[in-house]
Structure 1
Amino acid sequence: MPSKYVLQADFLTARPLSEVLGRENGFGLLRLLLAISVILAHANPLGMGTSDLGADWSHGQTGLGAVAVAGFFVLSGLLITRSGMRLSTARFLWSRAIRILPGLWACLLLTAFVLAPAVARHEHLLDGFWSHPQGPWEYVRANWSIGVNQWSISGLLAHNPHAGSFNGSIWSLAYEALCYVVVAALAATGLLHRARWVVLGTVAVLYGYTVHLALDYPQLRAPGYAPTGLPDWRLPLLGIINMDMLIPLGLLFGLGAVAELYKTHIRMNGIAALVAFGILVGAVRFGGYLVIGIPALAYLLLWIAAFTPRPLTRIGTKVDLSYGVYIYAFPIQ
């Protein structure tokens, strides 16, 4: 009986995020579930040539895959900001590099020299496969630095709804890495510790611009990557950065960063989490996903991470499979 009342008190009482989000949390579980959600989302377009799972239900605002990527960026914003405040800039960048690059390189090699030849044989296009100007060697060379500069290999998968792409999942890595660079710069200049309002102000500007974009759509049904009209950036190593994608992804990452920087001020409450869930579902279905759905998603994920049952908090603590599931799922599918 006492434990029941304790659980009720935890659910109803508003407590600071810094107090409820300890070392035992649900980040590992959430990342794995989000990665699996991306697999499910890819199943429809890759297997049947239809739209992303949930895209029609949301009236084109978003889909399961896009929501999963959004969740990744929120969680990453919190965890990467925490890491940036704790580590030296050099160690922070090194830890990020060894987290992403070896797995990416292994995936590129497997895709180019195992999966692509198998596809070429299946499509009876082995002749010229190795000498093609966009062959497997060029695929690895073009994509080794995170930025995607070549999607196809030797003209294969022309029937693919993603226009010959062997790995559509890795598009988001350049945006993630750019966020890492921003955090490193803020940490190196001391702004993360001494002027956290800079991060809050930047997120507020991004959110205001996002609202501005959504106002042009009936019932605020703006797509998750609403056209901005802003020119793309071409950055060293990261390749082309599309502003239509950078704005919402930067906002999502920023929401996670703000949660970490202001964790003593943000209150977590079970009733608020239920309200956030209702807002998220309602916004996805009826409109306003960019305006109210994204903040609701961020709050809901943080609440789940804080109150994940203890046995489930062990998922991902020793071996985090989410990154591998994410980058390998598309070529395997």
Structure 2
Amino acid sequence: MLPSARQVARRAVTAVPLSNAYAGRANSFGFLRLCFAVAVVLAHTAVIGYARPLTEVVDVAGLGVAGFFGISGFLITRSARRSSLPRYLWHRALRIWPGLWVCLLFIGLVVAPAVWYAERGHLDGLWRHPAGVVNFLQANWWGGYRQQGIVDVFRDTPYGDQTRRSVLDGSLWTLSYEIFCYLIVAALAVVAVLRRARWLVLVAAVLVFGLLCWNQYETLRFGGSTYFTSGSLGPLPLLGGLSKIWFLRFGFMFLVGAVADLYSDKLPINDVLGIAALILTGWQTLEGHLFGPALLAYEYAILYLAVRLPRLLHSVGQKNDYSYGIYIYSFVVQQTLAWLGAAAWGFVGYFAVVMVFTVVLAFLSWHLVEKPALRFKDWTPRLRRSAPPSGGAVEQPRQREPERAPVAEPVPVAADAPAHRS
């Protein structure tokens, strides 16, 4: 029986706390992650295959990546509050590094040698070159995208001609931002801010929002970023340099997601606010101003959709999460197919074949690497297992939270320069 108009209107204005609306696995975060990953692939299809943006106004890839950070901030903060620090760091390491390591090995030991050999008929000069395979693996092994290419592999693709350098997997550049956000949450957990002083996180979000507003004002008035958002942070150990402006944008989405979790008992969710947030986000995105104060509305829209989308979508990504694999493999698949001339098949044909190969690699990554690695989530070193209780709090069994697969905007960033938008 369909609800009456009065029932629909009553629900639209009735607010419930996010803590009540969000119940374990009854959410659409997996579906949203998949949508964000496909958005990144779609945007890069135009950039990599045809050396042009998908649209002149809307940063589709940036929209997808910011969405990933918004989801991550919410879920990762929940994980940090419910786990001990070693367990939290162990979970984050298992989720990022095994999949990344196999992807890097696939690029360095399969893709790059195959392309190099096809063009030269030998593998001389590929391995120990200053920009060779060995240095590529060492520079990027821990999540910092500090070497974008391998010698001149893919230098002759449309994207290589545009950037005038070798770029094998530009999607990896935001992993360093993701990891840095994880470490900040870990630090907040160590000093008990997440448990005893959550108001400090809210204050930080308000201050960063003010900086975001000021940067937007300066950009619209003078056409450039402020001093606080120009240049880069670092270089950080293993991660390299972080662009200040992109750290502000992605970090704000992560921070607001964290606040949403910490104040989920007070954050109201209703249809009026959700639809208003969607309209505001869409309007500012079409105006080219998403990466300003509108990010606050975008985060609310994501949380609203996560708990309000049809239940049919709740199962997407719950058991098998392919979004991370799609994210980390799509760029190199697109470069390989562009090198083979697949862009000549037209945008739709090129995108379709890219998705086929990307999904296959994401499927293999999940079932052969990521999922097996996650089976070690509850592993405990033998010394810790055998140690007698020390009188401290005992970690209780808890419901398994959905895992967040990190993503990144696929356009690479030089260590000494701000990120480029797709």
Q: 1:157 to 1:105 in 2, by over 3 A?
A: same
In the alignment, is residue 133 of structure 1 matched against residue 140 of structure 2? no
TM-score, normalising length from structure 1? 0.91
Q: Which runs of 5+ in 2 are unaligned?
A: 335-422
Match of 1:77 in 2: 73
Cα displacement string for residues 64-104 of structure 1 (whole angstroms, at most 9, x for unaligned residues): 00000000000000000000000000000000001000000
Alignment map for 1:268-287 (pairs within 5 Å): 268-286=269-287
Classify 1:125/1:145 alpha carbon distance in 2 versus 1 (closer, same or farther; 3 Å): farther
Residue 107 of structure 2 aligns with which residue? 111
Deviation at 1:9, TM superposition (A): 4.5
Letter of the structure 1 residue corresponding to residue 155 of structure 2: A
Shift of 1:148: 1.4
Q: Which moved more, 1:3-12 or 1:178-187?
A: 3-12
Using the TM superposition, give the Cα deviation of residue 229 of structure 1 relative to its aligned residue in structure 2, in angstroms.
Answer: 2.4
Using the size of structure 2 for normalisation, the TM-score is 0.73
- RMSD over aligned Cα atoms: 2.2
Structure 2 residue 221 is the aligned partner of structure 1 residue 237: no
1:134 positional shift: 1.6
Task: Answer whether contact 1:89 1:188 (CA < 8 A) is retained.
Answer: yes
Q: Is the 8 A contact 1:219 1:288 kept in 2?
A: no
Letter in structure 1 aligned against 2:62: A
Deviations 1:209-257 (A, max 9, x none): 111111123379879x998224431111222222122111111100100
Q: Which is worse superposed, 302-311 or 104-113? A: 302-311
Contact 1:279 1:292 in 2 (8 A): no
Tell which deviates more after alignment, 254-263 or 272-281: 272-281
Aligned-residue offset at 1:331: 0.7
| Residues 307/275 of structure 1: CA separation in 2 closer, same or farther (3 Å cut) | same
Establish whether residue 178 from structure 1 lines up as the match of residue 180 from structure 2: yes
Which of 203, 219, 222 is residue 201 of structure 1 equivalent to? 203
Separation of aligned partners in 2, 1:2 and 1:281:
29
Aligned to 2:257: 256
CA gap 1:26/1:219 in 2 versus in 1, 3 angstroms: farther
Structure 1 window deviating more from structure 2 (234-243 vs 106-115): it is: 234-243
Q: How far off its partner does 1:315 sit?
A: 1.1
Query: Hey, what does 2:38 align to over in structure 1?
Result: 36
Task: Report the secondary structure of 1:217's partner residue.
Answer: helix
Residue type matched to 2:46 in 1?
N
Aligned partner of 2:88 among 89, 92, 97: 92
Q: Which residue of 2 aligns with 1:22?
A: 23
In terms of mean alpha carbon deviation, does 292-301 or 228-237 score higher?
Answer: 228-237
In 1: Cα distance, 2:292 partner to 2:127 partner = 48
Q: Distance in 2 between matches of 1:272 and 1:109?
A: 46
CA distance in 2, matches of 1:206, 1:2: 44
Q: Residue in 1 aligned with 2:148?
A: 151
For 2:154 and 2:121, the matched residues in 1 are separated by 11
Instruction: Specify the SS of the correspondent of 1:264.
Output: coil
Q: Distance in 1 between matches of 2:178 and 2:129?
A: 31
For residues 195 and 99 of structure 2, the distance between their equivalents in structure 1, rounded to whole angstroms, comes to 31
CA distance in 2: counterparts of 1:136 and 1:102, whole angstroms: 19
Runs of 4 or more above 4 Å deviation? 2-9, 219-223
When residues 96 and 200 of structure 1 are mapped into structure 2, their CA distance, relative to the original with a 3 A threshold, is: same
The aligned length equals: 326
C-alpha distance after superposition, 1:21-45 (max 9, x if no partner): 1121001111111111111011011
* Structure number with bigger Rg: 2
Distance 2:223 2:13 in 1: 33
* 1:188, distance to aligned residue in structure 2 (A): 1.4
Q: Gapped runs of 5+ residues in structure 1?
A: none
Closer, same or farther in 2 for the Cα pair 1:328/1:275, shift >3 Å?
same
Structure-1 separation of matches of 2:121 and 2:169: 19
1 CA distance for matches of 2:119 and 2:297? 45
1:67 to 45, 63, 83: 63
What is residue 45 of structure 1 aligned with on the other side? Answer: 47
Q: Give the structure 2 partner of residue 306 of structure 1.
A: 307
Amino acid at match of 2:292: V
Letter in 2 for 1:45: V
Change (3 A) 1:317 1:182: same
Does the 8 A contact of 1:234 with 1:241 survive in 2?
Answer: yes
Partners of 1:2 and 1:47 lie apart in 2 by 47
Q: CA deviation at 1:128?
A: 2.4
